[in-house]
Amino acid sequence: MKRIVIIGAGGFGREVAWLIEDINKKKKEFEILGFLDDSIEKKDEIINGYRVLGGLEEIELKDVYFTCAIGNSKIKSNVVKKAIERKLKPINLIHPSVKTGKYNKFGEGLIICAGTIITVNTNIEDYVTINLNCTIGHDTKIGMFTTMYPGVNLSGECVIEKGVELGTNSTIIQGKKIGENTIVGAGSVVVRDLIENCIFAGVPAKKIKVIDE
């Protein structure tokens, strides 16, 4: 059985614990050691049956896997780097209800939540988070550290670059590209390529602001 810690003791962290519990119902794969969270106030708190062990940099763990339950792509990237430096090992968490076809390429450190459908010939890179009830069409590529919030629909042949955040119920039509670190607001419909480092929202999605580095 693999020992695992969940980095992030917020709402999504609790959902990831539930995801792991569902995996274990089908086959006992994981022992959840607890949460890692830098919040001093949360240390030693019991959340949904699991203890907050402390911050990532203060806990010594050996031969332990991790999952990063943080939606913000930039923060997720920084936290994953620290976890790897601490010798924690990434692992994929894929809910048993997920439907996926043949010939998909999956990276490591993925979180794929219940109800998601991934068709064929997709490429999902490392540390991508795919929340509840998303759909991903054929030949789509999703870059590292991207987060898809619930109900995102990606049509075929889309290119989602590194560090993108796709808001709840957003839709990207076939063949469109979204540049690095761009955020697409909830309910938006993307009908053209979007440049990097910007926030877009609306139907159709329009640029709202540039993201400051």
Instruction: Name the token pair of 30.
Output: 């994981």
95 is catalytic: no
Q: What does the alpha-carbon distance between residue 19 and residue 28 come to, in Å, rounded to a whole number?
A: 13
- Summarised one tens digit per residue, pLDDT across range 134-145 is 999 999 999 999
> Percent of the chain scored above 90 by pLDDT?
92
- Summarised one tens digit per residue, pLDDT across range 92-127 is 999 999 999 989 999 999 999 999 999 999 999 999
Kindly state which CATH superfamily the domain 96-210 is placed in: Hexapeptide repeat proteins (2.160.10.10)
For domain 2-91, the CATH architecture is 3-Layer(aba) Sandwich (3.40)
pTM: 0.95
Q: Which residues, 6 or more positions from 7, have their beta carbon under 8 angstroms from its beta carbon? A: 13, 35, 36, 37, 56, 66, 67, 68, 69, 70, 79, 83
Going from N- to C-terminal start, the domains of the chain cover: 2-91, 96-210
Q: Which of 51, 86, 89, 138 is catalytic?
A: 138
Q: Do the annotations mark residue 71 as ligand-binding?
A: yes
Instruction: Name the token pair of 79.
Output: 């936290």
- Residue 60, pLDDT score: 83
In degrees, rounded to 5, the angle at the alpha carbon of residue 55 between the alpha carbons of residues 182 and 213 is 25
Which class for 158: exposed (0-12), middle (13-18), buried (19 or more C-beta within 10 A)?
buried
Say whether pLDDT at 213 is over 80: no
